[in-house]
Every structure is written in C-alpha cells, then in structure tokens.
Chains A and B, each alone.
Chain A
Amino acid sequence: NAGVTQTPKFQVLKTGQSMTLQCAQDMNHEYMSWYRQDPGMGLRLIHYSVGAGITDQGEVPNGYNVSRSTTEDFPLRLLSAAPSQTSVYFCASSRGKTIYNEQFFGPGTRLTVL
C-alpha cells in the first residue's frame, strides 16, 4: 500500500491563478479530509468527505472547492489563489469516523502564492 499520496510536493502560484492539489489513498477509506498548516498554528480543517459524492465544510473553507467522485481521490481546488493561501496542505484519510479510527496523513504540499 502506498497509503495517502499527494501531488505536487511543492508549488508556486501567482495571485489569481487556479490549481488543483491532488490526494489519493489506496486503503479503501471512506473518510478523507484536507487541512492547512500555518506557522504557530495547529492544523485547520478545510473540507472533508465521508464517502464518494458527499463533502462538507470544515473550519476554513473559503477559497477552496472539493469533490469526491471516487473513494480513492479527493482533490482540493484553489479557485483564485491569494497570498493568504500560502501554507502547507495535508490530506488525510481514515476508515470511518475519526473518533474511532486513526487518520493517516499524506506528506503534504507546500504552496506559495506570490
């Protein structure tokens, strides 16, 4: 198993550009989520999905879109990048409810918006 994979590892964007951060897992996990990590702050939940076709907002969803057309993939779209979106982005997955199931994190995507 590759676990949770994320691409790209690094990305630089200009303000206003759009892009998609990719996340895939091969563990047949129902639950997937996206977090951002900023210096001096804990991970903050952006969006999450409890299964294919079902997504919901987390703590900081503005400026981001997600979709979940398959169990394996959960891409995060930045519609019009802003410098405030400079961050490290982590995707995570778990078998079910995170209250009972360990979340496995990907290696992260480091995004810089100029």
Chain B
Amino acid sequence: GQQLNQSPQSMFIQEGEDVSMNCTSSSIFNTWLWYKQDPGEGPVLLIALYKAGELTSNGRLTAQFGITRKDSFLNISASIPSDVGIYFCAGQVSDYKLSFGAGTTVTVRA
C-alpha cells in the first residue's frame, strides 16, 4: 500500500497548548481524512478534506489539505485533557480504500 509518514510519532500536551501534527506521502491523494482513536475504541472521523488547499475546522480542530496534494496537517488549539488519544491521517486510495498513517499518540504532560 501507499506509504503515509505521520509525525511526530508521539507528543505531550499541556492543557491550553496549541499542538500540530502532519502527514506526508510520496503519492498524490484526492481526499485526506483525520481520525481520533480513544483507548479501547475504534477510530472516529474528525475532519475530511476534499480539495487541495482546503482548510476545514471542527471546533478546536483545524486541518488543511496541502497544495501539492501530498500532505496534510492537523492543529488542535487550546488543548484539553480529553484530547489525549491516537490521531491518524488517511489518504483515499480509491473509491473504497484508504491508506492510514501510523498515528500520533497524544499524552498529557504530567
């Protein structure tokens, strides 16, 4: 499958901080998706991006579809404790197939 490189692999957040993560690919995608997975649960869709350059928000989350169509980033503003979890990017390979990044694990800094 197509390789998606997601970074950072993990991060620590302090309440109130803004955090950012990104995803890059050697292939072009027509759709980028961002998911969040809580412990013991399946991933849940946060944001879907359908056009190069598109900037979309969902509450405190903002994601952008890179202009080259080979990257995307996700920002979380004013972090809160419930933001912890694993965030995955995914690129649409075909009508029915997604390629997922390895995830960014977000943990609260003690």
Instruction: Give the total of B residues in contact with A, Cβ under 8 Å.
Output: 25
Q: Is B44 an interface residue (CB 8 A)?
A: yes
- In the complex, what's the smallest C-beta–C-beta distance from A101 to chain B, in angstroms? 10
**A92-B42, A107-B41, A108-B42 are known contacts. Are A99 and B95 too (CB-CB below 8 A)?**
yes
B100 touches A108 (CB 8 A): no
Residues of A within 8 A of B40 (CB): 107-108
Contact of B96 among A42, A98, A105 (CB under 8 A): A98
Digit string of A49-61 for contact with B (CB within 8 Å is 1, else 0)? 0100000001100
Instruction: Give the total of A residues in contact with B, Cβ under 8 Å.
Output: 25
**A92-B42, A102-B45 are known contacts. Are A31 and B96 too (CB-CB below 8 A)?**
yes
Describe B's contact surface by its main secondary structure: loop
Across the interface, name the chain B residue whose C-beta is closest to A42. B100
Q: Is B66 an interface residue (CB 8 A)?
A: no
- In the complex, what's the smallest C-beta–C-beta distance from A96 to chain B, in angstroms? 9
Cα distance A3–B31 in the bound complex, in angstroms: 25
B97 touches A45 (CB 8 A): yes
**A48-B96, A97-B95 are known contacts. Are A40 and B102 too (CB-CB below 8 A)?**
yes
B102 touches A41 (CB 8 A): yes
Across the interface, name the chain B residue whose C-beta is closest to A40. B102
- In the complex, what's the smallest C-beta–C-beta distance from A24 to chain B, in angstroms? 14
Contact of B100 among A40, A43, A50, A104 (CB under 8 A): A43
CB-CB contacts below 8 Å: A63-114 with B: 90, 92, 97-99, 102-108
- In the complex, what's the smallest C-beta–C-beta distance from B37 to chain A, in angstroms? 8
Besides the known contacts A42-B101, A43-B98, 19 further A-B residue pairs in the complex with CB atoms under 8 A apart? A4-B42, A42-B90, A42-B99, A43-B100, A44-B1, A45-B97, A58-B97, A59-B1, A97-B96, A98-B96, A99-B30, A99-B31, A99-B94, A99-B95, A105-B43, A105-B44, A107-B40, A107-B41, A108-B41
